[in-house]
A and B are shown apart, each in its own frame.
Chain A
Amino acid sequence: MSEIEKSELLDRFAYLSERESGDHLAVNCPAEQLIEFCTILRDEFQFDLLLDVTAIDWDVATPRFTGVYHFYSTVKQMYIRVASDCKDNIKPTLPSLVSLYSAADWHERETYDLMGIIYEGHPNLKRILMWDSYPYHPLRKDFPLAGIETPLPAEDVVEQTNLKVSAAPMMGGPFVSSGDGKMSQTEPKAKDESWNEEKGK
């Protein structure tokens, strides 16, 4: 079933390209045609459930950000993954799917919040998990695990206490492995290499 759908989709839409996938049917779709394609997916191919919207930060690669959508069809009982690259690495944008699926509202706000993708046409694109005045996008690869010192959201508390949100003390951990390369390079080490015994005290 998935094979038929795949060839049907790829034949019909010249702008689609097949995406490597470990499981479900997956296609790459350019950002310009995303709304058009998703409308047809929903109305003709009966993908009635938008399960998930997210994005991947490829760090130094270009294009840096890829938006990923997962749809499910309750009629055909199958998944499809649609990926769309963001053209601009500095100010990544994608069209918003809120007009098609109400579920996109919160998902896109979350991806904007954590990854900094700007969804054009979103009616209320503001932060959802972090507080409104938070200055960073924490899921980007250049954001450190420990966090960055940031002003507290409540101004009255800051006035009285002069406190800040400070980076987490790593205390030599967590010990993580980079995962690729030779054994000598993948040996687990503290993420924050600036940490030492003196600093720990």
Chain B
Amino acid sequence: MGEVKEVSVGDIGSRAAEADPELKAETMALNVGPSHPSTHGVLRLMMQLDGDSIKECEPVIGYLHRGDEKIAENMTYNQFIPYTDRLDYLAPLSNNVAYALAVEKLANLEVPDRCQAIRVICCELARISSHLLGVGVYGMDAGSWTVFMYTFTEREKLYTLFEELTGARFTTSYTRIGGVARDIPDGWLGRVDSFCKGVVPILNQVDKMLTRNRIFMDRTVDIGVITKEKALSYGMTGPNLRASGVDLDLRKDKPYLGYENYDFEVPIGLNGDCYDRYLMRAEEIKQSVGIIRQVIGSFPEGLYYSEDAKKIFAPPKDKILTSMEELIQNFMLVTEGPQMPKGEVYFEAENPKGALGFYVVSKGGGVPYRLKIRGPSFCNLSILSELLPGHFLTDITVILGSLDFVMGECDR
């Protein structure tokens, strides 16, 4: 019996070079994207390969740049809401909420409890929806198709719930400055609750399929390790940062929408590798389900919009058609936009992908003077040129899948 020796495939090139100093490994340029199934959108990677291992990597972005910030400067605050759907288009509801909260912060406006509760449910459903896709396609990237089928089936049920609430499956545009577009439909909470009941067994199935799966673990454990310091330096946020062991969740640290009233845990990773990033998302779905159940359990009565916001929120349609004051209010709102004070605010919400920030500069009136959108995916991707070198070509799909980015938000 001979001695068993582990051979690392990646070393073949370098060992050959050692054996013959004249034999120099030539690097090969490889271009991935911008249109490639594993880049989850239009990300382009220009790489220098030495055999199978990546020597250099330069991410190229901007293929989905639509000039959202320029557009925002040219329309009223409410008109921009549909554009926020198209930032992180896998979780449009939470973008709507984050944008509305930023502008409400500028207006110093508090929305009623019922509106907050509706928004919390929206945010958490969006988080579940985004993470279900994130985990599903991550499994697919790592070679396990089945998981995707399970999670996407659940996501389809979520779309039905979104459609019932907002009238659209994908581009929801549900919030307004000072409230939401309409109250929840009858019996909707019950259907959300039964969705929550149904999704937990599916999560357990996914857990059985992935968490202790030999192949999945081989492909993800100790791959794409991001240290705590690196993650912070590159401005990463969300599950990617928490996987690296940083306890930063804006729902806990800077509570908004009354998140401080709900009981939930924030999962924190140990190693910051691809496997940890999967575990974060899997656990966060469960926590979100818990939050939604708590909201439904104590769902407040009241209005779904702020009554004080006379110059900001459009009055109900029946009142516009019957009362002079409301008619004028609506006319002013449509022609001039919601009236905001002068000032500047920066608000960040804990979105599924990370901290989505809006920096609003107002000179008064109904149009923002400057609106800067801080897309979490933009920052999460900037680490690629440092993270990818040293990995194998086959690790690209796994690392990209684990970062769970969305180009709509990255390019804006």
B374, A177: Cβ atoms under 8 Å?
no
CA distance A23 to B345 in the complex (A): 6
A180, B364: Cβ atoms under 8 Å?
yes
Q: Which A residues touch B346, using CB under 8 A?
A: 23-24, 52, 70, 79, 81
Main SS class of interface, A: loop
Does B382 make an interface contact (CB < 8 A)? yes
A74, B232: Cβ atoms under 8 Å?
yes
Asked whether A139 and B70 contact (CB < 8 A) given A129-B62, A131-B62, the answer is yes
Does A174 make an interface contact (CB < 8 A)? yes
Q: Which of A105, A138, A178, A187 contacts B367 (CB 8 A)?
A: A178
B374, A102: Cβ atoms under 8 Å?
no
Q: Which of A20, A102, A139, A145 contacts B382 (CB 8 A)?
A: A102
Does B174 make an interface contact (CB < 8 A)? no
Q: How far is the CB of A7 from chain B (nearest CB, A)?
A: 21
A138, B359: Cβ atoms under 8 Å?
no
Q: Which of A48, A51, A56, A188 contacts B374 (CB 8 A)?
A: A51
CA distance A102 to B336 in the complex (A): 41
Does B36 make an interface contact (CB < 8 A)? no
Asked whether A105 and B382 contact (CB < 8 A) given A54-B359, A131-B62, A145-B71, the answer is yes
A191, B74: Cβ atoms under 8 Å?
yes
Does B248 make an interface contact (CB < 8 A)? yes
Q: Which of B235, B345, B361, B383 contacts A49 (CB 8 A)?
A: B235
B70, A145: Cβ atoms under 8 Å?
yes
CA distance A178 to B79 in the complex (A): 14
Contact string, A12-29, partner B, CB cutoff 8 A, digits 1/0?
Answer: 000000001111101000
Does A186 make an interface contact (CB < 8 A)? yes
Asked whether A22 and B345 contact (CB < 8 A) given A54-B359, A74-B247, the answer is yes
On chain B, which size bracket covers the interface?
Answer: 35 or more
A23, B234: Cβ atoms under 8 Å?
no
Does B320 make an interface contact (CB < 8 A)? no
B367, A56: Cβ atoms under 8 Å?
no
Q: Which of A22, A105, A143, A178 contacts B106 (CB 8 A)?
A: A22
Does B178 make an interface contact (CB < 8 A)? no
Q: Which B residues touch A194, using CB under 8 A?
A: none
Does B253 make an interface contact (CB < 8 A)? yes
CA distance A24 to B233 in the complex (A): 21
Asked whether A177 and B61 contact (CB < 8 A) given A23-B347, A81-B346, A106-B382, the answer is no
A22, B105: Cβ atoms under 8 Å?
yes
CA distance A106 to B230 in the complex (A): 15
A139, B69: Cβ atoms under 8 Å?
yes
Tell me the count of chain A residues lying within 8 A, CB to CB, of chain B.
48
Within 8 A of B (CB), among A180-201: 180, 183, 186-188, 191
Within 8 A of A (CB), among B205-261: 230, 232-235, 237, 246-248, 253-254
Within 8 A of A (CB), among B74-123: 74-76, 79, 105-106, 108
Does A37 make an interface contact (CB < 8 A)? no
B253, A106: Cβ atoms under 8 Å?
no
Q: Which B residues touch A106, using CB under 8 A?
A: 378-379, 381-382
Does B2 make an interface contact (CB < 8 A)? no
CA distance A129 to B378 in the complex (A): 11
Q: Which B residues touch A77, using CB under 8 A?
A: 253-254
Of B69, B346, B357, B379, most A-chain CB atoms within 10 Å:
B346
Contact string, B336-366, partner A, CB cutoff 8 A, digits 1/0?
Answer: 1100000111111000000101010101111
B365, A179: Cβ atoms under 8 Å?
yes
Q: How far is the CB of A170 from chain B (nearest CB, A)?
A: 11
Q: Which B residues touch A178, using CB under 8 A?
A: 365, 367
Does B65 make an interface contact (CB < 8 A)? yes
Asked whether A176 and B76 contact (CB < 8 A) given A129-B411, A138-B67, the answer is yes
Asked whether A70 and B357 contact (CB < 8 A) given A22-B106, A138-B70, A186-B336, the answer is yes
Instruction: Give A77's nearest chain B residue, CB to CB.
Output: B253
B253, A179: Cβ atoms under 8 Å?
no
CA distance A9 to B346 in the complex (A): 20
Does B372 make an interface contact (CB < 8 A)? yes
B366, A103: Cβ atoms under 8 Å?
no
B233, A102: Cβ atoms under 8 Å?
yes
CA distance A48 to B369 in the complex (A): 29
7 interchain pairs (CB within 8 A)?
A: A22-B343, A49-B237, A56-B369, A74-B248, A79-B346, A107-B235, A145-B74
Residues of B within 8 A of A (CB): 61-62, 65, 67, 69-71, 74-76, 79, 105-106, 108, 230, 232-235, 237, 246-248, 253-254, 335-337, 343-348, 355, 357, 359, 361, 363-367, 369-370, 372, 374, 378-379, 381-383, 386, 411-412
